[in-house]
Amino acid sequence: MASQDSMTASQEPETTSQEPKMISQEPETTSQEPKMIPQESKVASQEPTVTSPEPKMISQGSKSASQEPNTSSQEPNTSSQEPVTTTSSNPSSKYSNRVVLKTILEPSDKWREFLDERVVVGGWVKTSKELNQPAVPEPQQQTTEAPNVSPGHKDVRCVEIFQSRIPIFRSIAKIFGGGGSSHPVREKPEPAIPEPPQSSVAYLLVSDGSSVASLQVVVDSSVAPLSELLPTGTCILVEGVLQEPSTQAKHSIELKVEQILHIGKVEQDRYPLSKRRLPLEALRDCSHFRPRTTTVASVTRISSSLSFATQTFFHDKGFLYVQVPIITTTDGEGFSEKFQVTTVLGKDGKQNDTGGVSLEVVKAAVIQKSNLVEELKRSESNREALASAIQDLHKTNQLASQLEAKEKLKSGPSMKADKPSFYGEFFSQQTYLTVSGLLHLESYACALGNVFSFGPRFRADRKESAKRISEMWMVEVQMAFSQLEDAMNCADEYFKFLCKWILNNCSEDMEFVSKRIDKSSSYRLESMISSSIEKISYMEALKKVAVKFKINEEWGIALTPEHLSYLAEDVYRKPVIIYNYPKELKPFYVRLNDDGKTAAAFDMVVPKVGTIITGSQSEERIDMLNKTIEELHLPREQYEWYLDLRRHGTVEHSGFSLGFDLMVMFTTGLPDVRDVIPFPRSRGKANN
């Protein structure tokens, strides 16, 4: 074995300079476990020859390469099989030199494939503990037994053997020399041997957000200062060998660190997650850190999977994805609370004012500042002064534009009295954040057939609840040549597809959700898949809730969320579709049924969250749509483009909207939508 070590060192002299920690880290292992020497030396000898940043492939390739000169005939297939396994098991290695922990930890028995592999992993410390290692005794026992020493070991000297026998001679001297004397023999004190500093080991539970499980990372104090690694939230990037735990533990595999590549320190007194088990309500105040918690990370992965499932479902059904605008001039429902978009507010949040300055003075200032800009451009001596002058000129021009608009507004006769002026605004007419993208989506459905969109929608409704806040994401669908029944069937199939997708693709996360959030979450998804949907009319639903809640069966009464939850959870115990609502309860664009009283609209109600999907058949008849706009006194100019779709090539079409955040709530069982939205926006809450 000594010859193998010397051969390795002679073959790769560069190894010593590149990885001194690997060589100096295990001096005692060399004498106690000699079988590990060839394995470590093989790894060390091959690393300088590999330029790939993938450490897992390094270890596999190094094993194969180191065995080729001697065992190529015995293992001819090893080198050809290993790279294939690496590529498939670690897909993210193309963009980073680290191995994603999910690759190692999921499924639960996959870790066996990675034993003794050398990898780089990164993540954030969730919990940690430091244990002192017992002092390793000097190897005296191997040198005291002189008769058993091999004659080949020439480095064992007689002086060392004699020194090891000194305690025996002293005992004999006590017995024969001063055993009976009243004055004991004073021994010559031995020189104090300084004790080596006691080493310690840190056990870190590290998560990179890819899975529910965490990896136990073991770091010796000789590798790095452990005080920098122990605080919760510390980010680390480490390199080491995956191995089975040396002691019994709940973790099946751990990483023995050999090199620290990065440490992102934490200010413990200011880090909010230093306190364990913070309630979800408290985490809302630090939404930029809460993804590091196991609960929010698991919810985020489920949300991501639902998003991918949405794209998969509609892509497989032949739908086209369309992006609808967020800023719009149209009220998507006709009577909703909207956020107004404006650009005439100053830095202090107040409307810009000219401060009584006349237009002539401002115009003169524009000319003066324009000349200054031209002079600075010619000199090219001070670029900072030029940039400042250009910015100042831009502000002065804006002020002049505002004053000109005010002058025109005061002149009056040339302008229409009923048309407001938006002087100083970015847009020439009033704009809002979109409430719904269905109207814009119709224009593409009337040209491309079946389309869908996925994005944020905004409501300035001051009556917020646990299931509705100002900004929420919606999946919106429009289908040409389809009626109300078609939209119902598509919504039912899409909803069940999402439930099945989560059960098939998020088993570990759902297992965690069932343990920590809602025990019935997985069962609820399974029951939605297996049950057939119940379809009832508005009047049937009203009769059932009237008995329970003791209300009058009066036509036009709105069904409250409490009424709808009662139908889905207590009466039918499965998804319920309620259709043919009174026309007054639905948006203006919904098709009027032949009875003249009901609208071709529906709501899908499910247990736990209530209404999760709303849909309708749109009014394709321009005369009926015009009549509804006039009855509701809606601003006709806002909807001229929408009416054009009925003037030119109208067609029957229907669609629906799914509350995506509500779907995440339904899947996870969380009671408040603010805990499933990454950065929730509610009244008075928008702090990042």
Decide: residue 682, CB within 10 A, 0-12 exposed, 13-18 middle, 19+ buried: middle
Cβ 32 vs Cβ 136: under 8 Å: no
Q: Any idea how long the chain is? A: 688
Cis amide prior to 107 (ω within 30 degrees):
yes
Return the pLDDT at 154.
45
In this structure, which amino acid lies at residue 428?
Answer: S
For CA atoms 85, 90, 96, 101, give the dihedral sign.
negative
Of 22, 30, 39, 44, whose CA–CA distance to 2 is shortest? 30
Of 143, 147, 172, whose CA–CA distance to 160 is shortest? 143
Task: Spell out the residues 6+ positions from residue 577 whose beta carbon is closer than 8 angstroms to its own.
Answer: 488, 491, 492, 533, 534, 535, 536, 602, 603, 604, 605
603 φ/ψ angles, rounded to the nearest 5 degrees:
-125, 135
Decide: residue 429, CB within 10 A, 0-12 exposed, 13-18 middle, 19+ buried: exposed
d(CA 653, CA 484): 8
Of 77, 28, 22, whose CA–CA distance to 45 is shortest? 22
Return the pLDDT at 111.
79
Structural element, H or E, at residue 603:
strand 598-606
Of 573, 574, 549, whose CA–CA distance to 559 is shortest? 549
Task: Spell out the residues 6+ positions from residue 269 whose beta carbon is closer than 8 angstroms to its own.
Answer: none
Q: Which residues of 447-484 are buried (b: 16+ CB within 10 A; e: fewer)?
A: eebbbbbbebbbbeeeebeebbbbbbbbbbbbbbebeb
Structural element, H or E, at residue 598:
strand 598-606
| Global pTM value | 0.71
d(CA 503, CA 511): 10
pLDDT digits (tens, 9 = 90+) for 313-336: 999 999 999 999 999 998 888 777
Helix, coil or strand: residue 20: helix
Return the pLDDT at 237.
96
- The secondary structure of the chain in percent helix, strand, coil, rounded to multiples of 5, reads 45, 20, 35
Of 317, 609, 307, 332, whose CA–CA distance to 457 is shortest? 332
d(CA 554, CA 543): 10
Q: What is the DSSP letter of 465?
A: B
For 155-217, the three-class secondary structure string (H helix, E strand, C coil) is CCCHHHHHHHCHHHHHHHHHHHCCCCCCCCCCCCCCCCCCCCCCCEEEEEEEECCCCCCCEEE
- Kindly state the tokens that stand for 200: 């310690």
Return the pLDDT at 409.
59
d(CA 76, CA 80): 8
Ranges of the chain with pLDDT below 70: 1-93, 134-197, 249, 345-358, 378-384, 406-424
- Kindly state the tokens that stand for 282: 């408290």
Strand positions, DSSP E, 26-116? none
| Cα separation values, 231 from 198, 269, 271, 273, Å | 21, 10, 10, 10
323 φ/ψ angles, rounded to the nearest 5 degrees:
-95, 120
Decide: residue 209, CB within 10 A, 0-12 exposed, 13-18 middle, 19+ buried: middle
Of 66, 74, 73, 75, whose CA–CA distance to 40 is shortest? 66
Helix, coil or strand: residue 627: helix
- Kindly state the tokens that stand for 207: 């998560």
